[in-house]
């Protein structure tokens, strides 16, 4: 089916790798309006959330017909709290249409026995029912009928960034360097909108599987089940139960439960590193020292002589050295163990816009082999030069040590 849902109602901290993650999709032109409304900072009841959302309430029978009775061959993906089905509706009346006609949709169906899933289902409606932006996936409607809880989204034909980076199936071709920069920019714009004064939302689950791509590879953030309102007044953070995806969550958040917008920025840095390397944030199939991408890559990111060891070999020769170093520098800044040293989302957008504008004018750049050859023949092989190189590498090479609270629901 070729599409990939970011995640199906993710819950507490879990492994970054889930082979069953799949995606939604839709017409690239939808969701282009930016809402001026803000999400109320005070908790609201379920009735208040449903009544205030700008969404269609679908009868269960309508969605049953749209997905051909939730047939197994309509499944786009499945996870711990539900499955996502492909369906068709009339784009004007939003009623069920014959397969192959009308508008393609993705229908997420909640497992009926899941309480946590219900809270995340409601959170999706709370946020996506009020916030609109070109880089947020569009939520069309929902269904709340008896024990049935479903969400209806636009369909994203290119699936998730995760699939294009990591799957080796013929359908998912490796993203070119220019497309990776474009996707990173789109995701940064979505994050900047969430962090803006209009929204004041902390995403809390920024990862490759939650970045979905339309037919033109425009990135849209999906899955807002873990999103939280940002701090208000003089508060510097939101205290909350530690939830998200292992490998992407910021270390200080995992240790203390203190959530800030800079927690999302750390996760953005992890995804930038995945784009650079073509490696997963956590990959237990690799040698022990290489299983955690951030820990493995840190020593290479600040060194011009070593950076090529991190780069994805499948896009060799598609980039210039200067563009690679700019992205690596951004990743290092985002991954700082001190949140105050991480850039904000607007700064990421500006940096990536400059890079995106210049990437189309650059040559193919030096290949890995050329870069490695220069290193091999340089004087950097001397002990003195090697010591100097180490001194210029990332200052945060050693991860900060935090005491983890005993109540943290961390799972590996």
Q: For position 78, what pLDDT does the model report?
A: 77
DSSP type of residue 404: P
Work out the burial of residue 23: count CB atoms within 10 Å of its CB; fewer than 13 is exposed, 13-18 middle, 19 or more buried: buried
Active site residue 205: yes
CA–CA gap between residue 166 and residue 277 (Å, rounded): 10
Distances (CA, A) of 410 to 264, 312, 381, 405: 18, 30, 43, 10
How is residue 112 written in tokens? 């009926």
Rounded to 5°, angle at Cα 14 from 407 and 210: 125
> Among 274-283, 346-355, 358-367, where is mean pLDDT lowest?
358-367
Evaluate if residue 377 carries a pLDDT over 90.
no
| Residue for token pair 């910021």 | 250
Taking residues 275-293, what's their average pLDDT?
Answer: 96
Closest CA to 330 of 311, 310, 359, 350: 350
Mean pLDDT of the chain: 80
- The residue with greater pLDDT, 303 or 116, is 303
CA–CA gap between residue 302 and residue 395 (Å, rounded): 8
User: What are the tens digits of pLDDT across the range 135-161?
Assistant: 999 999 999 998 899 999 999 999 899
- Number of Cβ atoms within 10 Å of the Cβ of 282: 20
Given pLDDT bands bounded at 50, 70 and 90, which one contains residue 9?
A: very low
Q: For position 390, what pLDDT does the model report?
A: 41
Evaluate if residue 334 carries a pLDDT over 50.
yes
Taking residues 336-350, what's their average pLDDT?
Answer: 97
DSSP type of residue 374: H
For residue 344, give every residue at least 6 positions away whose Cβ sits within 8 Å of its Cβ, in sequence order, or none: 192, 195, 261, 262, 265
Closest CA to 260 of 241, 243, 239: 239
Return the HEC string of 306-340: CHHHCCCHHHCCCCCHHHHHHHHHHHHHHCCCCHH
Given pLDDT bands bounded at 50, 70 and 90, which one contains residue 380?
A: very low
Taking residues 119-134, what's their average pLDDT?
Answer: 90
The catalytic residue among 73, 147, 205, 229 is 205
Given pLDDT bands bounded at 50, 70 and 90, which one contains residue 167?
A: confident
Given pLDDT bands bounded at 50, 70 and 90, which one contains residue 365?
A: very low
Q: For position 138, what pLDDT does the model report?
A: 95
Chain Cα centroid distance, residue 269? 11
Q: Which segment, 119-133, 175-189, 223-237, is predicted with the most confidence on average?
A: 175-189
Taking residues 99-113, what's their average pLDDT?
Answer: 90
User: What are the tens digits of pLDDT across the range 219-254?
Assistant: 999 999 899 988 877 787 888 888 888 999 999 999
CA–CA gap between residue 343 and residue 336 (Å, rounded): 10
What is 177-391's CATH topology?
Transferase(Phosphotransferase); domain 1 (1.10.510)
Strands, DSSP E only, in 93-176? 103-110, 139-145, 148-154
CA–CA gap between residue 213 and residue 22 (Å, rounded): 12
Q: For position 94, what pLDDT does the model report?
A: 94
Evaluate if residue 108 carries a pLDDT over 50.
yes
Q: For position 43, what pLDDT does the model report?
A: 54
Q: What percent of the chain has pLDDT over 70?
A: 73
| Residue for token pair 């930038």 | 272
108 in a known ligand binding site:
yes
Q: For position 271, what pLDDT does the model report?
A: 98
Q: For position 403, what pLDDT does the model report?
A: 36
Closest CA to 35 of 151, 193, 153, 185: 193
**Spatial strand order in the sheet of 75-79:** 56-57, 139-145, 148-154, 103-110, 82-89, 75-79
- The residue with greater pLDDT, 170 or 354, is 354
User: What are the tens digits of pLDDT across the range 12-33?
Assistant: 454 433 333 344 543 333 333 3
Q: For position 302, what pLDDT does the model report?
A: 82
Q: For position 80, what pLDDT does the model report?
A: 61
Q: For position 234, what pLDDT does the model report?
A: 73
Taking residues 287-315, what's their average pLDDT?
Answer: 93
Taking residues 259-279, what's their average pLDDT?
Answer: 97
């Amino acid at each position: 089916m070729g599409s990939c849902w970011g995640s199906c109602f993710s819950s507490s901290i879990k492994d970054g790798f889930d082979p069953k993650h799949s995606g939604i999709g839709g017409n690239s032109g939808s969701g282009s309006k930016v809402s001026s409304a803000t999400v109320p900072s005070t908790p609201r009841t379920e009735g208040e959330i449903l009544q205030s959302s700008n969404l269609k309430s679908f009868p269960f029978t309508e969605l049953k017909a749209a997905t051909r009775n939730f047939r197994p061959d309509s499944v786009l993906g499945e996870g711990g709290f539900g499955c996502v089905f492909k369906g068709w509706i009339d784009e004007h009346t939003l009623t069920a249409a014959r397969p192959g006609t009308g508008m393609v949709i993705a229908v997420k169906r909640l497992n009926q026995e899941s309480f946590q899933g219900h809270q995340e289902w409601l959170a999706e409606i709370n946020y996506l029912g009020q916030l609109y932006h070109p880089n947020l996936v569009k939520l069309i409607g929902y269904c709340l009928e008896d024990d049935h809880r479903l969400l209806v989204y636009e369909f994203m034909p290119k699936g998730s960034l995760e699939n294009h980076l990591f799957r080796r199936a013929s359908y998912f071709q490796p993203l070119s360097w220019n497309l990776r920069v474009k996707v990173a920019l789109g995701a940064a714009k979505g994050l900047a909108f969430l962090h803006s004064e209009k929204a004041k939302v902390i995403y809390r689950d920024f990862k490759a599987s939650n970045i979905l791509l339309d037919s033109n590879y425009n990135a849209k953030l999906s899955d807002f089940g873990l999103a939280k309102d940002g701090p208000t007044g003089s508060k510097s953070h939101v205290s909350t139960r530690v939830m998200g995806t292992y490998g992407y969550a910021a270390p200080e958040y995992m240790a203390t439960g203190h959530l800030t917008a800079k927690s999302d920025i750390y996760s953005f840095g992890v995804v930038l590193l995945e784009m650079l390397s073509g490696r997963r944030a956590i990959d237990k199939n690799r040698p022990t020292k290489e299983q955690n991408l951030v820990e493995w890559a840190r020593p290479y990111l600040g060194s011009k002589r070593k950076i090529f060891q991190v780069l994805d070999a499948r896009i060799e020769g598609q980039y210039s050295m200067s563009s690679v170093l700019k992205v690596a520098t951004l990743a290092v800044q985002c991954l700082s163990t001190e949140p105050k040293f991480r850039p904000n989302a607007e700064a990421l957008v500006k940096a990536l816009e400059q890079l995106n504008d210049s990437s189309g004018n650059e040559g193919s750049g030096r290949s890995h082999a050329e870069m490695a050859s220069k290193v091999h023949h340089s004087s950097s092989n001397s002990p003195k030069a090697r010591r100097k190189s180490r001194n210029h590498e990332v200052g945060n090479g050693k991860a900060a040590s935090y005491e983890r609270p005993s109540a943290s629901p961390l799972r590996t």
